[in-house]
Chain A
Amino acid sequence: NAGVTQTPKFQVLKTGQSMTLQCAQDMNHEYMSWYRQDPGMGLRLIHYSVGAGITDQGEVPNGYNVSRSTTEDFPLRLLSAAPSQTSVYFCASSYYPNPTYEQYFGPGTRLTVT
């Protein structure tokens, strides 16, 4: 099993550009989530999904969209990148349709917006 994979590993965007961060898991996990990690702020939940076709907002959803058309994939879209979205983004998944069990994290995507 590859676990949770994220692409790309690094990305530089200009302000106003859009892009999609990819996340996939091959563990048949119901729950998937996106976090951003910023210095001094810890991990903050952006969006999450408890199953295919179901998504919800987390703590910091503004500027991001998600969809969950399959169990395996949970892409994160930045609609119009801003410097404040410079961060490290982690995708995670969990077997049960909620995060009350261990989450498995991807390796992260480091995004810089200039």
Chain B
Amino acid sequence: AQKVTQAQTEISVVEKEDVTLDCVYETRDTTYYLFWYKQPPSGELVFLIRRNSFDEQNEISGRYSWNFQKSTSSFNFTITASQVVDSAVYFCGSTEVLVGDMRFGAGTRLTVKP
């Protein structure tokens, strides 16, 4: 079965620091999708990005960037010049294309201090 590991339980940085959240996945399928969601202190879950297994291009969206490496089964998320508003729990997830099952990691709580 698929599995997602977010080894970093909590990270604390000072504003303007860069920070990388790690995500390692396991899957037996060759076609799968990877996701990142954000859960701010208000509690809602917000979609950030989706990546399929055939697209290894890195993605940049403003201060956010994602590095997908199939060789290491990793899909890491970097926030450049972090801000207090980035404080949240971030979840990495994966799903295989032929199943309806989605798995998330345990989440990484990021605290950005002013």
Binding site for B on A (CB under 8 A): 31, 33, 35, 40-45, 48-50, 56, 58-59, 88, 90, 92, 97-105, 107-108
Contacts and interface: CB of A to CB of B under 8 A. Distances in A.
Contacts, number: 64
Interface string B98-114: 01111111110000000
A42 B9 contact: no
Contacts of B106: 40-42
Given A42-B107, A99-B100, A105-B45, 11 more contacts: A33-B100, A40-B9, A42-B106, A43-B107, A48-B102, A49-B100, A56-B100, A98-B99, A98-B100, A99-B102, A100-B33
Contact size range, B: 20 to 34
Q: Is the interface of A mostly helix, strand, loop or mixed?
A: strand
Interface of B: 6, 9, 33, 35, 37, 43-45, 47, 50, 52, 91, 93, 95, 97, 99-107
